[in-house]
Amino acid sequence: MRQVRVFFHDKCFDGAASAAVFTAFYRAKIAAGAEFGYFGLVHKAEGLFDTAEFTGDDNAIVDFKYNPDPRVTWWFDHHQSAFLSAADAEHFRRERSPQKFYDPDFRSCTAFLAQVARERFGFDEPGLRELVHWADVVDGALFPSAAAAVEMREPALKLTLAIEGTRAPEFLRRLIPDFLRHSLDALLRQDYVQAALEPLLRRHQQMRELIRERSECRDGVIVFDLADLDYEGYNKFLPYYWHPEGVYSIGVSRSPFRVKLSVGSNPWHSLPRMENLAAICERYGGGGHARVGAISFAPSAVEEARAAAREIAAELRRSYRAAAQPTPAG
């Protein structure tokens, strides 16, 4: 029996959905009776791949970085930073493999893979369209509102919470093939999915109430402090759910390993001129993107993080007031 090993972006809806769509495509177009094994990959400083795992008759990497190992026979990715080195990028360009594909313009790897499978291999499975659609929504963060992102009424959003939050390694090995058997709604009703979801939903509700109690919004800037709790990790849209008028949010939280200062901006409410949050965080030794950044402090440096939070809040409030100021007439 032909063995296929699929290496996918772990703890990610798009990664799991890509693995499922690849499986359906491979069975339809390459080998119907193939047997599949699924292996999650995570981003870390080094040792991304254990190449000793590339033992399948085919080894596919989906929604994750390129690996030039000759045993890797299929690759699909859409990440901006898809190559670990210039040499890897050069290897990809020179090899011109008809089974390796890259396009950073796609919002999700799942949609990219589905399009390549359709256009190059004639694979079209209408039953997969729901999965492809939601991979695009989740990976592209295309939620219509903070309420949609926080209340998670859509089955795909609850599945995302389970995929990102569960610690059981066998969960995704079971879920990926099940994507091909059930609608997302029916999948959500499976016992093992409910069991994984239940503690995560409970915690989500706790965080939702906690941030309601502890956040305040003034001059377009939402501030909250969870540093007295061991509670890093919460839905990043919660501040805008409680304060839709807020443009920026600043939160201090703590885990056993660090104190984190998160500086974000509201995807549904912008000013004509937004501050670059990565640039602000870099001044304090942090970083990120223009619209969301973070700064890490040592676990003991709570007061230092709080002081930085106050300074950044004052700076963003000044910026908000200046932007909200009506232009003087004449």
Residues that bind Mn ion in the complex, under the rule CB under 5 A: 14, 63, 109, 139
Q: In the chain, at which residue ranges do the beta strands (DSSP E only) sit?
A: 3-9, 35-41, 58-62, 72-77, 100-102, 216-218, 221-225, 248-254, 259-265, 287-288, 292-297
Determine the Cα angle at 137 with ends 216 and 122, to 5°.
170
Relative orientation angle of helices 13-29 and 129-139, to the nearest 10 degrees:
150
Tell the smallest beta-carbon distance from residue 218 to Mn ion (Å): 36
Tell the smallest beta-carbon distance from residue 160 to Mn ion (Å): 12
Residue closer to Mn ion by CB (options 106, 234) is 106
Tell the smallest beta-carbon distance from residue 168 to Mn ion (Å): 22
Residues 6+ apart with CB under 8 A from 326: none
Tell the smallest beta-carbon distance from residue 300 to Mn ion (Å): 36
Tell me if residue 225 falls in helix, strand or coil: strand
Q: Which residue is nearest to Mn ion (CB)?
A: 14
Residue closer to Mn ion by CB (options 14, 275) is 14
Quote the CA–CA distance of 211 and 235 in Å, as a whole number.
Answer: 10
Quote the CA–CA distance of 306 and 226 in Å, as a whole number.
Answer: 10
Quote the CA–CA distance of 13 and 40 in Å, as a whole number.
Answer: 12
Residue closer to Mn ion by CB (options 6, 261) is 6
Residue closer to Mn ion by CB (options 14, 58) is 14
- Of the candidates 299, 222, 306, 295, which has an alpha carbon nearest to the alpha carbon of residue 261? 295
Residue closer to Mn ion by CB (options 10, 275) is 10
Residue closer to Mn ion by CB (options 38, 240) is 38
Tell the smallest beta-carbon distance from residue 114 to Mn ion (Å): 13
Tell the smallest beta-carbon distance from residue 58 to Mn ion (Å): 21
Q: How are beta strands 221-225 and 248-254 bridged, if at all? A: parallel
